[in-house]
Copies of this chain bind each other. A is one copy, B any other.
């Protein structure tokens, strides 16, 4: 997994020495972090009136990631970012994370250093402090559990439940790229299994590979919306695919929607690779997960403020619940959305 010539067994270091070793390069940057790693609990104090946001995710080897093609450093980066994405999706600012992992004796101290090196890059980039966690052994594989803690002004949290009829449905960035990156990596893995001498053919696919291996949380979108004075009425991050997330918003808000297929933002590389793989690019965007873009609704009255936004696309609008949740296809047909994409009768 690693090309390091040295290998230090995890069992060679005590748990406390190991935590200290892995976290020593993490500096505390936030005033709100009063005590980080090293006691029974972290101690945090936000300014009076702030609300606390807490989100947690578990990543399991063989379920969420495949170390035959995911570098541990990227995995560390991604495991932090996907949790921060949840805090941004509440209209908040992440400030702290805790990280726990369980690793089998297949993993060395050097391997865990790589994992934490990736986490460190993410923490620095997003300005969050690592304040605690747990390390333990496992009987098989690697599991990572990250909890992100953040803050927002009282009353400023944006829930999944606030969408109203006639609101505009918006999404940041583009969709389906992370899914196509995964398809590409899976294909090369099988090619490599058949003939280990073949070098992986990944050229010209930088964008979709980065979407899969090194996703970003859309802090910039949250900051931009603050700047232009737009507060979404509802919001969620796109981790499971656009269709599934739209259904969450509509179910929680008790509304329906019309999503326009021709408005769904898809990058050219994603589009081309999907075609090569014999896949429908729209299906990749609707059902492929892990894009970590923000899906949100805004009041129609915010349209003027939003229409100049470079990286935000209006993809539909909210309707009455009785109208259902529908995809309007390029050909003009209207089909009920499902978590897997849509139902074409």
- Interface residues of chain A, those whose CB is within 8 Å of chain B, are 14, 16, 34-35, 38-46, 48-58, 60-64, 86-87, 89-90, 92, 96, 98, 100-102, 131-134, 136-141, 143, 145, 147-150, 154, 157, 159-161, 235-237, 248, 252, 339
Contacts and interface: CB of A to CB of B under 8 A. Distances in A.
A58 B235 CA distance: 30
B252 A136 contact: no
Contacts of A14: 339
Nearest to A85: B40
A87 B136 CA distance: 20
Nearest to A139: B62
The A contact surface, by secondary structure, is strand
Contacts of A102: 58, 60, 63, 143
Residue of A49, A148, A157 most packed against chain B (CB within 10 A): A157
A56 B157 contact: no
Report the copy number of this chain in the oligomer: 2
B49 A52 contact: no
B236 A160 contact: no
Contact of A40 (B55, B62, B132, B141): B55
B139 A56 contact: no
A16 B35 CA distance: 35
Contacts of A56: 98, 100, 132-134, 145, 147
A51 B40 contact: no
Contacts of A100: 56-58, 145
A49 B47 CA distance: 8
A46 B54 contact: no
Closest 6 CB pairs of A and B: A48-B48, A145-B145, A41-B55, A44-B52, A40-B89, A62-B139
Given A86-B41, A140-B139, A143-B102, A134 B57 contact: yes
Contacts of A40: 55, 86-87, 89-90, 160, 235-237
A41 B92 contact: yes
Given A58-B145, A145-B100, A39 B138 contact: no
Contact of A45 (B34, B45, B143, B154): B154
A150 B55 CA distance: 15
B51 A48 contact: no
Contacts of A87: 40-41
B160 A63 contact: no
A54 B138 contact: no
Contacts of A248: 16
A55 B53 CA distance: 15
Contact of A140 (B50, B89, B140): B140
Contacts of A145: 56, 58, 100, 134, 145
B41 A53 contact: yes
Nearest to A34: B51
Contact of A134 (B34, B44, B58): B58
Contact of A38 (B43, B62, B252): B252
11 contacts: A40-B55, A45-B154, A46-B52, A58-B102, A58-B134, A58-B143, A58-B145, A60-B102, A62-B138, A63-B102, A134-B145
A213 B303 CA distance: 59
A130 to B, nearest CB: 12
Contacts of A55: 40-42, 132
